[in-house]
Structure 1
Amino acid sequence: MPALPDAITQAMNQARTAENGRHAEIVVSDGPLRQTIIALSRGVRLPEHNSPPAASIQVVRGSLRVTGQEVAELRAGDLEALTHFRHAVEALEDCAFVLTTVTSQPSGGSHATRTGEMPIMEDEDRA
């Protein structure tokens, strides 16, 4: 995989020449974790769709609007957790973003907590 800036540039170039004005490419796939580079030409809208159990969007170039239960306008550098409600995305200008999703939730293990707090590590775990 090329460096992230190069992958973003390639995705934006492909979106600009695509008939539908968009391009998406999964760059990380690890169990339930997915990171996808998505590039949209100005005015292109991803229709309303469901969210996975957990997701965030980090705008790398340009700006976009996320609509759903709440409306958010995001610009390059913005990082936002996505709503758990149906939402749509519209490019306010040519844009590219990294969509991070978790497609399922683990049933336990060292990363799971019930309260959302970091697990307390025992002394032997810290070595």
Structure 2
Amino acid sequence: MFNEEEMKFVPAYYAANGKGQRVPFIVSLMMVDDKNKAALPPAVSASIDRTLIITGTEGVALANIYNVEPLDLVVPAHIDRSMKIDGALVLFRCQSPETAENLMVVMNEAYTLTLVKDKQSNADA
């Protein structure tokens, strides 16, 4: 059984294009708190902080992804725009688990993806 208390981080990836540009990104679900305001699970917040430290990025470019959007157009637009912003980290907030899964399929087809890792492992590139 899944225990959210044990989940400390969600994975962060680099999306790289054929021009030598790359940008880190994280995929999360759209969630709200008890006051119906947008909220991030603790594991996502921790991953953002961790990724900013590891990659040296300075800020988050928020991309809300809805179930009805054409992902093959919307997702690359967010990534390509963010690749032009020094110090950006893209946070995709998806409306449903299915949309998050489909987003990763689009990302995998459009970019070279690598896991963001701690610098101590010498494999963060």
TM-score by length of 1: 0.28
Give 1 or 2: higher helix fraction: 2
Structure with bigger gyration radius: 1
Give 1 or 2: higher strand fraction: 1
Q: Higher relative contact order at CA 8 Å, sep ≥6: structure 1 or structure 2?
A: 2
